[in-house]
Every structure is written in C-alpha cells, then in structure tokens.
C-alpha cells in the first residue's frame, strides 16, 4: 500500500489528521521494510526529522509554508544536499567534499516546507535509460516481485521509490528520457519540464543544454501541486482543460516502430478512450521527426559532447577505470565529433525547435513512452551489446523531445500479461521566453 498521494497527504497535514513527524517515521519504516539497499544512496533522517518538527510547529500555528508543508520527498543524487556528498551515482565522487549548500531546487522545496528524506540511486553520471549501477547496485523495479527488472534510467531510484509507496514524490532529471522512462517502467507519472523552468544551480550536469528537471509522483495532480510549490507559488496556476478543447496528434513516425504488443494495444485503447470522452485525436504526417533524428545521427550526440566537457580529465586519468564502462563508451562517442559537427548540430537544433514549435502549435503530440516494458536485468548485465541495443531502443521516443526542448509527461496506461506497466507520453512545444519569464 502506498504512503498516499501528495494531494491527500497535504490535505491531511493541513487538517491535522496527519502529523509531519509521524509521517517521517513512517517513511523510514517503509524504507526498512522495503529492504532494497540499492534504492537510496543515502538517507537523511536527522535532517528529515528536524524539517518535520519545524513543519509541525508551522501547521499547529496555522501558518503553513505552502500547500505541501510537511510532505516528504526524495532527490535523485544529482542534487546538492547541504552537508552530503553528491555522488551522481559514481564511485569516483564517493569521497568528494560535501555540498556546502543546498541546490536551488532543494532550497525551494525547503522554503515550501517539504521534507527531504534522502538521495536515491541513479545511473552513473545520469547516462543511460536502463538504470543499471555497478557501484551502488541497481534498484529493484517494484512491479515484479519475482524477476529483477530494469527500473529505467537514469532516475532509477526516483521511479522505484514512488512506485514502492515509500514517498509520494521524488525529483529527477531528464536529459534524454530519464524521468519519463522510469515513470513508464515503474507505473508512475513523470513530468519532464522544458529548459529554464527550474533553476539548475546545485545539480550535477550531464548536458548543460539538454538537462531538465521534474517530479515523479502517483498522479498528474501531484506533479502539478509539487511543481507549484517548487516554483514558490501559492497554488497551481493551471487547471484541467475540458477534453473538447484539447487537440491530440498521433505522428506517423518511428515512434511506433517495433512496439511490444501490450504497448501498442494499451496505446490504442488510451487513444480510443480520449476520443470517446470528446477529445480531438488525429493522425498527422510528421516526416520532420525523421529529419530531426537524421540530424542527431549525422553529427553525433550532443549529450556526449557536453558530457566530455564535464568529464574530460576523469576519462584521461586513472578514474576512467573506476567508471562504468558502458558510461565511458557513451561519453567517448564525442571523440568522433569535430568542432564543425558540434556547431552544425547546435545550429540545426535551434532551427528545428522553431520549425517544430510552429508545426505543432497548440497540439499535444502523443505516443508510447517506451517501445517495451521494463526488461529483465540479467541479459543486460551479461552482454554489453544487448544492453546498448535496449538502451538505444528505450530512449528512442523520449530523446527527441529533449533535443527539441519539448515538455513531456508519461502516464501509466495499462500493463502487459506479466503485470508490467506501459506508459503513454504527451509532448508539447516549450513555452515562449516571455512565458518563462513570467513563470
């Protein structure tokens, strides 16, 4: 049973039916009972208990810091948490200096009264859609109690900790699908913002151009409420639109190639439900996505180029042997890129963002989040080429949204015959700069 949703817990805390201190004790009891040593890289019980006591005082005084005062959350271990080492899932950073201050978004959560319970595990340096970690272990996907399956990456712990019902929300990062893939694989909701939506200070980078942040939670409403709190708003500024006012488009593109039968069937069923409920759903020819994909393939991965900038000295020295070789291989793809390649890639990206924004307008593109459900881990660990095949396939539908700076959300839309979740993804063009400046 889940600890509850952000909405329900927030309401119960404000009404006095739940107590923040008791809630934190329940979270740590759930962590112990879940018994997955790979889920958290570190827990922060003293900090969480102190924040819960402060929340209790505010709530009893009738002066909550926000609508979510007292709600517990976990952070992907890319976010600086004062006094703790930010490992980025890597052994080479295990003995680094502790963070001198909270990251900007962690500080925003603290101002909202949310309670930070710890840093959850992730793919090393956030560079994989599968979620394996040879240093801290790979978190269990809670949806299969018998077979160890991929939790998705790179925000593996964020997806698993919410799916396990330990906390109602965890904050992840997304550079090529790293929020939406764990959401789909673990059967939760994942919201990837577009760039500029949240401050990036105090977040260990993978690709400074493509990195985005966002919540993984039990519902869309929970993501909306958490987002408002993290942005310092008194409450959400958005409201549910009538379905009749929404325009959903289904592209005729590679996003539907080689789908697992359950993924295809559950997507079709979700589309049918939308149409029956009154939404406009239309198929469109979108050859532009093929052209964008070809551009990405022609000049090389932008993520690798920017990751090489971050890790060049590590990969040139003895630390390279201490890094997951699958991660090293992906970063070193940048070595085949020239300066001209990088310029043409970034200029092409800028042009395609403008073209695709104009092409979609206010329409919402929908597709399966991933072509398959979470796969068993053993074959991925046994054969590196099997790993890279599944990693590339898993990132296929999500990564193009990062390249085009779309916002995106993965929502559970069913399961396969083994009970493994499938995900339904919605994508939309990023806001104008004027909209970003006004929040």
* Catalytic pick among 84, 116, 150, 178: 178
- In the residue annotation, 170 being an active-site residue is answered as no
Could you tell me which of 176, 178, 174, 175 has the C-alpha nearest to residue 186? 178
Cα four-point dihedral sign 131, 132, 135, 138: positive
Q: Which helix (H) or strand (E) holds 9?
A: helix 6-15
CB distance 6 to 68 below 8 Å = yes
Q: Which helix (H) or strand (E) holds 33?
A: helix 20-34
Three-point CA angle 187, 130, 296, nearest 5°: 110
CB distance 367 to 271 below 8 Å = no
Q: Which residues contact 227 (CB under 8 A, 6 or more apart)?
A: 191, 193, 214, 215, 236
* Catalytic pick among 116, 150, 154, 253: 154
Q: What does the alpha-carbon distance between residue 88 and residue 76 come to, in Å, rounded to a whole number?
A: 8
Q: How far is CA 44 from CA 84, 110, 137, 371, 402, in A?
A: 9, 14, 19, 36, 32
* Catalytic pick among 66, 76, 116, 304: 76
Q: What does the alpha-carbon distance between residue 232 and residue 235 come to, in Å, rounded to a whole number?
A: 9
- In the residue annotation, 436 being an active-site residue is answered as no
- In the residue annotation, 76 being an active-site residue is answered as yes
Q: How far is CA 378 from the centre of its chain?
A: 24
* Strands of the 407-415 sheet, one edge to the other: 40-43, 115-120, 72-76, 169-174, 212-217, 189-192, 407-415, 421-428, 364-368, 247-251, 280-284
30: left (phi over 0), alpha (psi -120 to 50) or beta: alpha
Three-point CA angle 400, 262, 420, nearest 5°: 90
CB distance 150 to 377 below 8 Å = yes
CB distance 183 to 216 below 8 Å = yes
* The token pair that represents 146 in the structure block: 């018998």
* The token pair that represents 209 in the structure block: 């151009």
Could you tell me which of 122, 213, 216 has the C-alpha nearest to residue 169? 216
| First-to-final CA distance of the chain | 35
> Which of helix, strand or coil describes residue 90?
coil
Give catalytic residues, as residue numbers.
76, 154, 178
């Amino acid at each position: 049973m889940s600890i509850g949703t952000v909405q329900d817990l927030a309401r119960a805390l404000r009404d006095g039916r739940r107590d923040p201190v008791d809630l934190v004790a329940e979270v740590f009891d759930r962590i112990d009972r879940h018994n997955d040593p790979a889920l958290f890289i570190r827990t922060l019980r003293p900090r969480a208990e102190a924040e819960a006591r402060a929340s209790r005082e505010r709530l009893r005084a009738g002066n909550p810091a926000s609508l979510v005062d007292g709600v517990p959350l976990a952070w992907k271990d890319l976010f600086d948490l004062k006094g703790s080492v930010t490992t980025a899932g890597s052994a080479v950073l295990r003995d680094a200096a502790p963070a001198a201050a909270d990251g900007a978004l962690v500080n925003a959560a603290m101002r909202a009264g949310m309670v930070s319970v710890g840093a959850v595990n992730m793919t090393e340096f956030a560079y994989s859609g599968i979620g394996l970690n040879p240093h801290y272990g790979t978190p269990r996907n809670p949806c299969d109690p018998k077979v160890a399956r991929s939790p998705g990456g790179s925000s593996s712990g964020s997806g698993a900790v919410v799916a396990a019902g330990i906390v109602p929300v965890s904050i992840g990062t997304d550079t090529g699908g790293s929020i939406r893939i764990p959401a789909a694989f673990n059967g939760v909701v994942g919201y990837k913002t577009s760039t500029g939506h949240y401050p990036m200070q105090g977040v260990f980078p993978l690709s400074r151009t493509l990195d985005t942040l966002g919540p993984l939670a039990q519902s869309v409403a929970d993501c909306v409420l958490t987002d408002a709190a993290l942005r310092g708003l008194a409450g959400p500024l958005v409201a549910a639109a009538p379905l009749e006012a929404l325009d959903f488009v289904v592209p005729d593109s590679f996003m539907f190639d080689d789908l697992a039968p359950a993924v295809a069937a559950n997507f079709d069923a979700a589309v049918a439900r939308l149409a029956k409920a009154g939404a406009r759903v239309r198929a469109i020819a979108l050859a532009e996505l093929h052209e964008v994909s070809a551009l990405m393939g022609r000049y090389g991965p932008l993520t690798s180029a920017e990751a090489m900038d971050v890790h060049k000295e590590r990969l040139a020295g003895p630390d390279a042997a201490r890094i997951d070789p699958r991660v090293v291989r992906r970063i070193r793809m940048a070595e085949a890129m020239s300066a001209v390649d990088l310029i043409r890639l970034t200029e092409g990206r800028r042009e395609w963002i403008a073209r695709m924004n104009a092409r979609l307008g206010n329409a919402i593109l929908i597709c399966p989040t991933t072509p398959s459900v979470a796969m068993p881990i053993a074959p991925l660990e046994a054969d590196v080429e099997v790993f890279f095949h599944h990693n590339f396939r898993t990132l296929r539908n999500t990564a193009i949204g990062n390249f085009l700076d779309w916002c995106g959300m993965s929502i559970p839309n069913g399961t396969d015959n083994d009970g493994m979740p499938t995900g339904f993804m919605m994508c939309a063009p990023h806001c104008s700069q004027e909209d970003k400046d006004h929040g």
